[in-house]
């Protein structure tokens, strides 16, 4: 899902997530920080060096951030793994989890890093102040990144904030998380269907392919015309089923309004 993006008028309206490219510390270890920031206040919520960039590493870090700071309305990322995929709706396992806890996954257009410009500028500052030159060991680098996060949030004035630090504005979200993943609701849906192991659903005697990423999840099907149905996972439009009972992906557009 690319545009339209949610407006960030208050803390936790939108979080931005990305990896700051990797470098090697003096001991030869690979360091690639996962960073998460609040779009409105610029507060740096997470700055954690990781050895791998897969779902199994990123999801526990995000779950910890949700417990500590509450839930944002949306999370903005690029299209790379583990944030997005080439599956229907651009969904990845990580994005599926976001939807199941009430977070809308936003993704910038390919090749358009300026759409996440505030986070990109954060990375430039991080590189200059906490990675150039690299630390001698990965342990020393992790400590240096932790000091950078503290200084960035509590001491560094930001011109866009009227020369005050992010911590003077940021407050945790009032939307707390109990640690459970819940299937989305589909008010007004014509029908719902469970996605089978092969990524298909049963539909009028046929088995249109939806997405293997959604195996075991339920999708909502909304009739929009004669023999024409739109297929959603939560607020994410996946495509439509035509009169030949085929699933056709379409370009993302504004999500269906659901509570």
Q: Cα 95–234–3 angle (5° rounding)?
A: 65
pLDDT at residue number 142: 95
Question: Would you state the pLDDT for residue 25?
Answer: 95
Interval 127-149: pLDDT, tens: 999 999 999 999 999 999 999 99
Q: Which residues contact 87 (CB under 8 A, 6 or more apart)?
A: 211, 212, 213, 214
Q: Enumerate residue ranges in the chain where pLDDT < 70.
A: 1-6, 111-115, 250-259
Domains belonging to the chain, first-starting first, are 14-168 (3.30.420.10), 191-248 (no CATH)
The per-residue pLDDT for 251 is 54
pLDDT value of position 1:
41
pLDDT the model gives residue 8: 82
As a whole number of angstroms, the distance between CA 102 and CA 107 comes to 16
pLDDT at 112: 64
Q: Which residues pair with 76 in a beta bridge?
A: 16, 106
What is the C-alpha to C-alpha distance for residues 125 and 119, in angstroms, rounded to an integer? Answer: 10
**pLDDT for the residue numbered 249:** 84
CA distance 84 to 205: 31
3-state secondary structure the chain: CCCCCCCCCCCCCEEEEEECCCEECCCCCEEEEEEEEECCCCCEEEEEEECCCCHHHHHHHHHHHHHHHCCCCEEEECCCCCCCCCCHHHCCHHHHHHHHCCCEEEECCCCCHHHHHHHHHHHHHHHHHHCCCCCCCHHHHHHHHHHHHHHHHHCCCEHHHCCECHHHCCCCCCCCCCCCCCCCCCCCCCEEEECCCCCECCECCECCECCHHHCCCEEEEEEEECCEEEEEECCEEEEEECCCCCEECCCCCCCCCCC
Q: Model's pTM, two decimal places?
A: 0.90
d(CA 183, CA 206): 24
């Amino acid at each position: 899902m690319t545009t339209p993006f949610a407006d960030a008028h208050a803390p936790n309206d939108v979080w931005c997530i990305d990896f700051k490219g990797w470098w090697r510390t003096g001991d030869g270890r690979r360091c690639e920080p996962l960073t998460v920031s609040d779009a409105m206040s610029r507060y740096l919520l997470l700055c954690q060096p990781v050895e791998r960039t897969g779902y199994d590493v990123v999801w526990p870090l995000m779950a910890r951030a949700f417990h500590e700071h509450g839930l944002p309305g949306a999370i903005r990322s690029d299209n790379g793994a583990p944030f997005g995929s080439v599956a229907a709706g651009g969904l990845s396992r990580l994005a599926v989890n976001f939807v199941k806890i009430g977070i809308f996954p936003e993704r910038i257009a390919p090749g358009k890093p300026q759409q996440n410009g505030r986070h990109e500028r954060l990375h430039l500052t991080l590189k200059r102040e906490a990675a150039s030159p690299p630390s001698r060991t990965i342990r020393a680098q992790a400590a240096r990144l932790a000091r950078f996060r503290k200084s960035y949030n509590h001491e560094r004035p930001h011109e866009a904030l009227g020369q005050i630090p992010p911590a003077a504005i940021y407050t945790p979200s009032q939307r707390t998380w109990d640690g459970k993943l819940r299937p989305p609701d589909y008010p007004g849906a014509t029908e719902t269907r469970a996605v089978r192991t092969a990524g298909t659903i049963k539909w009028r005697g046929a088995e249109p392919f939806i997405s293997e990423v959604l195996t075991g999840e339920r999708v909502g099907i909304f009739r929009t015309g004669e023999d024409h149905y739109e297929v959603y996972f939560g607020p994410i439009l996946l495509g439509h089923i035509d009169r030949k009972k085929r699933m056709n992906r379409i370009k993302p557009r504004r999500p269906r309004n659901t509570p």
